[in-house]
Amino acid sequence: MKKISIVIPAKDEEKRLPGFLKTVIEYCAQSRNSYEIIIVDDGSQDGTAKAALDLRGDFAALKVLSLERNHGKGYAVKQGFLNAQGEIVLFLDADGSTSPREIERHLNWFDQGYDIVIGSRVLKDDASRVDALPHRRWMGSIFNFLVSNLLIKGIKDTQCGFKMFRSSVVPVVFGPMRLEGFGFDLEVLYLAQKNHLRTKEVAVNWTHVDGSKVHLFKDSLRMFGNILEIKQWHG
């Protein structure tokens, strides 16, 4: 039996979070593994924290960390990871685009010696389906091409919101992490490669959910700048 920590960063997710969180709680409750769930409220202006706390009666190992102001997804994930108690620590997006069922479908890779397991919307297998908007697929392909040539080799999708880490490597990749926004995945994976950590990219089921906080063009431009920052900081 493994102890697993699920970190869910959330900003202004009062409407979408409860439904997905109920799904996660149901999944954890029926598992043979031991779970804790950590919701990190990233300076929300709505009732995100209360919506999560209202479900604590359904799952005792549910924690809510409330940040005083909005920092960004990367900062929120880092705070959740630094407070996690599990031997495997992972994050899921609050919109529910990736189901918690992907967790135990891919846990076996840790038994095979991998340190990090990351979901991919590019890789395909018979058990996975990706439902993404065409323009997001197109932009994602361009972005991933640039990333693979300028920063991180051998990974086809750096931005999927499903990543699992052996707890022993969390300080290695999240300790030096400086990016607080959506580009944090790039920094974490770059640090993983720099420290020769074994990373497995796996196909996952992923579904587009309306209401994304990502501004496709603006955030893509910002992440191109993040590539240069990462090479300057850690190169």
Q: pLDDT tens across 179-205, in order? A: 999 999 999 999 999 999 999 999 999
> What's the average model confidence in pLDDT over 27-36?
98
Q: Decide if pLDDT at 224 tops 60.
A: yes
Q: Decide if pLDDT at 26 tops 60.
A: yes
Measure CA 203 to chain center: 15
Distance of alpha carbon 38 from alpha carbon 230, whole angstroms: 28
Q: Decide if pLDDT at 127 tops 90.
A: no
Name 39's bridge partners. Answer: 8, 64
Confidence of residue 149 (pLDDT cuts 50, 70, 90): confident
State the pLDDT at residue 142: 72
**Which amino acid, residue 38?**
I
Q: What is the pTM of this model?
A: 0.93
> What's the average model confidence in pLDDT over 3-24?
97
Lowest mean pLDDT among 32-36, 121-125, 127-131: 127-131
Q: Decide if pLDDT at 25 tops 80.
A: yes
Question: What does the mean pLDDT of the chain come to?
Answer: 93
Confidence of residue 219 (pLDDT cuts 50, 70, 90): low
Distance of alpha carbon 150 from alpha carbon 123, whole angstroms: 20
Q: Decide if pLDDT at 217 tops 70.
A: no
Q: What percent of the chain has pLDDT over 90?
A: 82
State the pLDDT at residue 211: 60
Distance of alpha carbon 200 from alpha carbon 123, whole angstroms: 12
> What's the average model confidence in pLDDT over 36-49?
98
What are 70-119's pLDDT values in tens digits? 999 999 999 999 999 999 999 999 999 999 999 999 999 999 999 999 99
Q: Decide if pLDDT at 215 tops 90.
A: no
